[in-house]
Amino acid sequence: MKLLKDLIYKAGIEEVVGSTNVAVEKICFDSREVEEFAMFVAIQGGAHDGHEHIEKAIEAGANTIVCEVMPDHFFQKVSYVKVKDSRTALAQIACNFYDNPSKDISLVGVTGTNGKTTISSLCYQLFKSLGYKVGLISTVRNLIHNQELQASHTTPDPVSINALLRDMVGFGCSHCFMEVSSHALDQKRTYGLDYDVAIFSNLSHDHLDYHETFDNYIAAKKILFDGLAEDAFALVNIDDFHSEVMVQNTKAKVKTFGLRGASDFKAKIVENQFSGMQLQVDGQELWTKLIGDFNASNLLAVYACGILLEEDQLELLTSISNLKTVDGRFEYIKTEQNITAIVDYAHTPDALKNVLKTINSIRAGQGKLISVVGCGGDRDKLKRPEMAKLAASLSDKVILTSDNPRTEDPQVIIDDMKKGLDANMKKKHLSIVDRREAIRTACSLAQENDIILVAGKGHEKYQDINGVKNHFDDLEELNEALNPIGE
């Protein structure tokens, strides 16, 4: 419970009607969740305007309304606070309600098109192995040390974030590692959080269904670094030319990492195999089970984060060598016929290109590469032909199939993808709408020394079709079709 006057501190107040000495027991931005003595924050969204539900919230027991536009009629014993921006106000109020938990924990935020889940999850693994109690907020799962919580969004709403952080502090967690999506930044979900380190992995084509232009997408990512305090670190991948834009207005101390350019933290790949790779990191060598340039970059970011958080270099490198791949990120199985089947979350052109190039560099022309690729429905349509073109140009055989079609006809999605194929590419492609059949077809086509890549869904254990999430697991399907060694 908090007094209204304490909750609205730094929330961008423009006008108050009623008392600020009222007690608030819950913060809601969905009128269906309002209970007695709750505050209802009216947010203007794309599909709904919370201002239309103010009276409903009051009927349900709300004693405080936060809004951008004051209603025409005021109810007695209800306090009204007009703010400049409801999303920013909600985030600041959530920080105040939970006593600013981000100031009581070392908070690391990771943003970028690809690598967010891997970097944040590996940081969690690393610091846990170093003996700390740690938290994780990610696409795959939310964790308070060993306690797993359901993850519904890459970055939760501000009330959930602050509640999670407060629970982590209460449990004794010293660090929290969180993915920070462009949607979350644009919607002010992370406003008011006190980051110790913010990491930028890379930027490429994605989410233009939401942001509309690439410039808007860049601007959204940049919000994380613009909001850092002077005592924080902005850690950016210098191999991505967008890194300079990310930090051009930051107050934080800028540090760089990279495999190619001159940087504060450097690494290079000495050897790359399906079983792992040998890396040289800041002059020290280590073996890791992760593979590929993208994972070398991810591991370097993890190492650099550890150094910035004042951990010992040799302890970090020793622990990093024992880190395991994240669910659905280049997970693979092998059969007695030496067929390798890989599952990867690659669902953007850049991520798919990175995975395919890594596979091709390791196989060095041995065996065929059969790729199974789809694109999500109700999402960015511009990347569909590019995804198909990349898959076909870098594979010996490509099977175009459904991913999460959502409310779209999966055949229409595949037809959009096929627009990226030239005549030669079309000769080596198949179109199979049913994802299970597509995976099984790939397995039946594979022979000794061949490689199968199933891309797009990775860790997801479902397929979203017309609003229904049906159980579907790419790795499970491959296991059933191939009977790998150890099954």
Q: pLDDT value at position 139?
A: 81
For 186, other C-beta atoms within 10 Å of its C-beta total: 18
27-30 contacts at long range (C-beta below 8 A, 24 or more positions apart): 27/90, 27/93, 27/94, 27/97, 27/159, 28/57, 28/62, 29/90, 29/157, 29/159
Q: Are strands 397-402 and 2-3 parallel, antiparallel or unpaired?
A: unpaired
Burial grade of 346 (CB within 10 A; 0-12, 13-18, 19 or more): buried
Q: Are strands 233-237 and 197-200 parallel, antiparallel or unpaired?
A: parallel
**67 Cα distance to chain centroid:** 30
In terms of CATH, what superfamily is 331-482? Mur ligase, C-terminal domain (3.90.190.20)
Beta carbons of 225 and 200 less than 8 angstroms apart: yes
Q: Are strands 134-137 and 38-41 parallel, antiparallel or unpaired?
A: unpaired
Residues in contact with 390: Cβ distance below 8 Å, sequence separation at least 6, in sequence order: 349, 352, 353, 356
- CA–CA dist 352, 391 (Å, integer): 7
Tokens describing residue 92: 């600041």
Beta carbons of 335 and 322 less than 8 angstroms apart: no
- Greatest Cα pair distance in the chain: 77
Sheet harboring 13-17: ordered strands across? 13-17, 79-83, 64-67, 38-41, 26-28
What are residue 288's DSSP bridge partners? Answer: 277
Q: pLDDT value at position 140?
A: 78
pTM: 0.89
Per-residue pLDDT of the chain (487 residues; tens, 9 = 90+): 999 999 999 999 999 999 999 999 999 999 999 999 999 999 997 678 999 999 999 999 999 999 999 999 999 999 999 999 999 999 999 999 999 999 999 999 999 988 999 999 999 999 999 999 999 999 878 999 999 987 666 679 999 999 999 999 999 999 999 999 988 999 999 999 999 999 999 998 555 555 558 788 899 999 999 999 999 999 999 999 999 999 999 999 999 999 998 999 999 999 998 889 999 999 999 999 999 999 999 999 999 999 999 999 999 999 999 999 888 889 989 999 899 999 999 988 988 999 999 999 998 878 999 999 999 999 889 899 999 999 999 999 999 999 999 999 999 999 999 999 999 999 999 999 999 999 999 999 999 999 999 999 998 999 999 989 999 999 999 999 998 765 4
Tokens describing residue 342: 């890989």
Q: For the chain, where do the domains classified as CATH 3.40.1390.10 start and end?
A: 2-97
Q: For the chain, where do the domains classified as CATH 3.90.190.20 start and end?
A: 331-482
* Helices 383-393 & 349-363 angle (0-180, nearest 10): 0
Q: pLDDT value at position 152?
A: 62
- What is the Cβ-side half-sphere exposure of residue 179, based on CA atoms within 13 angstroms? 26
Using DSSP, state whether 334 is helix, strand or coil: strand
Tokens describing residue 417: 């993808």
Q: Which of 428, 436, 444 is nearest to 470 (CA)?
A: 436
Q: pLDDT value at position 350?
A: 87
What is the fold of 2-97? Answer: 3.40.1390
Which residue type sits at 308?
A: L
- CA–CA dist 384, 348 (Å, integer): 9
Using DSSP, state whether 475 is helix, strand or coil: helix
> Alpha helix locations (H) across 44-115?
54-59, 86-97
Q: pLDDT value at position 212?
A: 59
**433 Cα distance to chain centroid:** 27
- CA–CA dist 200, 243 (Å, integer): 7
- What is the Cβ-side half-sphere exposure of residue 279, based on CA atoms within 13 angstroms? 28
* Helices 410-418 & 383-393 angle (0-180, nearest 10): 60
- CA–CA dist 175, 159 (Å, integer): 19
Q: Write down the residue that tokens 């070392």 correspond to.
A: 106
Tokens describing residue 12: 């961008």
**Where does 101-320 sit in CATH, by number?**
3.40.1190.10
Q: For the chain, where do the domains classified as CATH 3.40.1190.10 start and end?
A: 101-320
Q: pLDDT value at position 208?
A: 53
- CA–CA dist 93, 60 (Å, integer): 21
